[in-house]
Chain A
Amino acid sequence: MSHPRVTGVGLTPFGEHSERTGRDLFAEAGLAALDDSGVDPDDVEALFYGNFMGELAEHQGHQAPLMAEAVGLDVPATRYEAACASSGAAVREAVRHLRSGEADVILVGGSERMTNIGTAGATDALSIAADDLYEIRAGMTFPGAYALMARAYFREFGGSREDLAAVAVKNHDHALPNEHAQLRKEITVEDALGAPMVADPLGLYDACPITDGASAAVLTSAEYAAEHGLGASVAVTGTGQGGDNLALHDRENLARSPAASEAAEEAYADAGVAPDDVDIAEVHDCFTIAEVLAIESLGLCEPGEGIAAARDGKTHATGETPVNLSGGLKAKGHPVGATGVAQVVSLTKVLEGESAWADDVGDARVGVAHNAGGTVASATVHVLEVVA
C-alpha cells in the first residue's frame, strides 16, 4: 500500500486569543500548511475540518465551508465532530480517501475558540461531550469525569496525586522550547500538589488549560508527492478508530479506555508495527490521568504500570519512549477541535528532525498520535513513519 504523505503543516500559537474569530485562527494555520507544503492550492480537492463547540462559543454552525473560504479554497468541506477527537477523525477520513484513490490532495485541520466564553462557559461547553440526561444532570463536568476515572484507577492499580503531578511536570518541561505552546513555565511536583482542586483528586495542574488555536496539515497521496517532487519524508502508515458507550457508568471497567486500545490495535496492524517499535508518542493528556490511560491503551506500558512512567522518567524526552514532546494538551494547550491535527503536526516535525529535543530523539522513525473524545467514547490512533 502506498501511504499518504504529510507534505505541509501549520499551527497558530496556542493560547488566549479571545478576540480572534475561529475563521481567522483557521486561516492562519491553513495558509501556513499550504505554504509549507509547496502544493498548488488549486490542487486541493477537499477540506476535512474538526471543531467541537462552535455553536456554543461563536454561535456558528456549518463551519467547514466557512473555513475553506477563509483559506481561499472553493472545495467540498465537511466538519467532523467527535468531541475532543474531532480532528483526529478528520485525519482518519482524509487518509482513507487518499488511500482509496478518491483524492490526491486534502487539507485537514481544526480550530476552536474557547477563552471568549470564560472558564464557566468553557466548562459548560466541554461538559456536553458527556451524556446530558444521566451524567451532566448529575453534575458531571469534564474534569469531574476524569476525576472519577482517576479514583477508580487508584483503587484498582494504586498510584497517587504525586504520580499524576509527575506527568504535569514532564509535559511542562517538554513545552519550554515549544514556541506554539500556551504554558511555557517550569513547574514542580510541589506546585502541582499545592494548586487548587478542580475535581478531587484532580487539581488545577492536572488539567489542560482553556485554549484558542488552530492546526492544519496538507496530506497527499504518495504518487502526487513523488510527481511534484515534494520530498515529504513522513507518511501516515496506520489509522485506527474505536468507540465505546457514551456514559462512563456503562463501561465495564472505569479505569481503562478500551476504545483507544481498539484504535491502537487497528492502527498498529495497519502499519505493520508493534508497540515496541514506537519511538515517540503524542497522546491526549487533557488531564494527567488521561496520559496514564493513553500509554496503557497504546501498549507502551502494561495496565497498571502507566502511572509510574512519568515519575520514573520513561516518558521524558531523555527516556525510553518520549511522550508529548510538544508539551501535550497539558502545556501546549487544548483548542479542542484542533488537537488531533496538532498532534500530527508535532510528530511530523520531530520525525523530520525539527525539534528542540533532536539531541534526544533525532533518530526517531515511528511516531504515534492518540486523540480521544469525551471519556474516550471516541478514539483515533495514527501511526506516522519516516519513509524516505
Chain B
Amino acid sequence: MSDKARDGAFDDWLDAIEDDSGYYVECENGHGWLPPRRVCPDCGSRDLSETPLPDAGEVATFTEVSVATPQFSADTPYVTAIVDYGPVRVTGLLRGADPDDVDVGMPVGIGVGERETTGDRAVVFRPR
C-alpha cells in the first residue's frame, strides 16, 4: 500500500462503501454522479445532495482483462465491470464469479477490496 496523501472525496466515498453506507451525488433533476462534484455536468445544477446507493446494481458491461498494467500484474486475469445503479453507474472489479458465468444484467452488490498486486483499495462487486 502506498503512503501518499488521501484523495479526499474519493477515499471518503470508499470509506462509506466499506461501511455499507455507499452514496452517490444527485442533482435536483435526478442526474447521478460520483464525488467530488460541485456542479452537475449534465444540467449545470449546483444543488447536489448525497443520496444512498441502492443495495444492488446490475452489470451493464464487463470484460475479463488478460493483459494488465504493472499495478494489476498479480491480479491478472480479472474482471472489470460497469454496474448500473439507476441514476449512476460505477466501475469496479467483479469477484466471486467464474468469468464464464458473468453476464449483462447480473445483480451484484458493492464493497471494497484490496488489489492483490499493490494492496491498494478498489471497488469490488460480488454476485448477490
Contacts and interface: CB of A to CB of B under 8 A. Distances in A.
A152 to B, nearest CB: 4
Contact of B91 (A123, A124, A247): A247
A202 B69 CA distance: 16
Contacts of B62: 148, 151
B126 interface: no
B106 interface: no
B33 A250 contact: yes
Interface residues of B, number: 35
A246 to B, nearest CB: 10
Contacts of B70: 120-121, 124
B108 interface: no
Given A133-B7, A139-B80, A200 B67 contact: no
A100 B49 CA distance: 45
A151 B104 contact: yes
A66 B102 CA distance: 50
A159 interface: no
Given A124-B69, A138-B92, 5 more contacts: A119-B67, A134-B90, A139-B80, A147-B63, A248-B91
Interface in A231-264: 245, 247-250, 254
A278 interface: no
B60 A141 contact: no
A250 B33 CA distance: 7
Contacts of A149: 61
B70 to A, nearest CB: 5
Interface in B67-124: 67-73, 75, 78, 80, 82, 89-93, 99, 104, 115, 120-123
A250 B104 CA distance: 17
B60 A254 contact: yes
Given A140-B80, A254-B82, A134 B61 contact: no
A267 to B, nearest CB: 24
A228 interface: no
Contact of A127 (B41, B69, B78): B69
A137 B120 contact: yes
